[in-house]
Structure 1
Amino acid sequence: MFNSKKNLVYVMAFFALSFFTACESDDPVIENDAEVITDVILNFQELDATGNLVGAVTTFSASDPQGIEVGATPTIDNVTLTKGKTYQLNIEVRNSIENEDITEEILEEGDEHQFFFLGTAFVGSPVLTYQYDDLSGELIGVQGIVTVAASPGFNNANMRIILRHDLDKNFPGATNPSFENFVQAGGESDLDITFPLILN
């Protein structure tokens, strides 16, 4: 009799353990859909007076093998540009962990993404001006035109580049690539990084 009761206790304990384990496995898995960005590459190529591309592409990058988080400090190149010149700027965004070109996704979802260009290079007494020039005609900022002042008041500045996602592109002021109140247009930042700028 004692053995039967003991066996019954073991059986009940086994079923209880199985029940709790089954419940645990049915719990929903919370997924993080945020893109991991490990590399931001700025490709500059000079434009002549008629708007034709001339010379070689000059590349500057920021990278972090673990992923660039908003507000983090990855390895960042100094961007060196020449006074009085105009450049076409193409931005590449990559996830080297997964070997993904996130630029393609940004372009595919162009109605949901937009770059803004701030920092002392673009606001206040700007030494750089930026104009959206994306091939699709959408204001995204993957491709644009950067003009360097011919006689800037200083030779060093910083280029703050922000990528916003899910913003209201019709918000007043959001068509300005150097819109300082970009947060008011809603959405969230996928990227917020600052490059040092040196002018020759």
Structure 2
Amino acid sequence: MKTIKLLAIACISAITFASCSDDENPTPTNEEEVITTMTITLTPASGSAVTLQTRDLDGDGPNAPVVTVSGNLLANTTYTGAIVLLNETEDPAENVTTEVAEEADEHQFFYSATGISPTFTYAGTNDSNGNPVGINFSVATGAAGTGTITVTLRHEPNKTATGVSGGDITNAGGETDIEATFNVTVTNPAVL
């Protein structure tokens, strides 16, 4: 009988301790953004804009993202770039770009290229510490050729690490919210 009473007291004590918490106000977690679609519009001073888009409506599902490029870029031309991020699992689609802008201190876009030699420059609004976010940027294409452009959005990068504010992702750390690689062709302008 004594063993049963001790066992009952032990069980009640365990339940009491397990149900109590010292943390009366748990820290809210900031869930990562759901991004199904990234659309990048590159607009030259004159001529037609080129759109780069990746769209993955099933997320980690079996279908690969649909990646499209609307046309060729012109050699030795500067384009202004703007990025729009959407969560198309919502109806209507949620514009995640707004959230990234609001949480500018916690986000940064990075741009890189292989096979071609464009120069990327951050533009637009910086975060509260004067570091780039990269929703807006410019790209000078350089010589004609074919290659890829990769655009990466990092969540909570170390923006004070060496090279990060200049666009070097090497020391950025953080987690990748979205990354896409686009096959691009840079052509010489037609001679009239």
What's the TM-score once normalised by structure 1's chain length? Answer: 0.68
The aligned runs of 1:14-25 (5 Å cut-off) are none
Runs (5+) with no aligned partner, structure 2:
1-18, 20-28, 188-192
- What is the Cα deviation at residue 34 of structure 1? 2.7
> Partners in 2 of 1:161 and 1:103 — Cα distance?
14
In structure 1, what is the equivalent of residue 59 of structure 2? Answer: 67
Moved over 6 A (4+): none
In structure 2, what is the equivalent of residue 19 of structure 1? Answer: none
Candidates 170, 173, 192, aligned match of 2:160: 170
Candidates 43, 46, 60, aligned match of 2:41: 43
The aligned runs of 1:58-97 (5 Å cut-off) are 58-67=50-59, 73-78=64-69, 80-97=72-89
Percent identical: 29
In structure 2, what is the equivalent of residue 198 of structure 1? Answer: 185
CA distance 1:58–1:68, shift in 2 (3 Å): farther
> Partners in 2 of 1:148 and 1:92 — Cα distance?
21
CA distance 1:160–1:36, shift in 2 (3 Å): same
Structure number, greater radius of gyration: 1
CA distance 1:112–1:158, shift in 2 (3 Å): same
1:148-178 CA-partner distances (Å, limit 9, x unpaired): 11x34xx11111111001111011110222x
> Partners in 2 of 1:80 and 1:157 — Cα distance?
11
Candidates 142, 149, 152, aligned match of 2:135: 142
In structure 2, what is the equivalent of residue 16 of structure 1? Answer: none
Which has the larger displacement, 106-115 or 32-41?
Answer: 32-41
Runs (5+) with no aligned partner, structure 1:
1-22, 24-30, 48-53
Contact 2:75 2:141 in 1 (8 A): yes
> Partners in 2 of 1:189 and 1:82 — Cα distance?
30
- What is the Cα deviation at residue 185 of structure 1? 2.6
> Partners in 1 of 2:164 and 2:157 — Cα distance?
9
Query: Structure 2: which amino acid aligns with 1:185?
Result: A
Cα-Cα RMSD: 2.4
> Partners in 2 of 1:147 and 1:135 — Cα distance?
20
Query: Structure 2: which amino acid aligns with 1:145?
Result: S
Query: Structure 1: which amino acid aligns with 2:66?
Result: T
Aligned residues: 153
Query: Structure 2: which amino acid aligns with 1:198?
Result: T
1:77-106 CA-partner distances (Å, limit 9, x unpaired): 136210011000001111011111010011
> Partners in 1 of 2:124 and 2:112 — Cα distance?
19
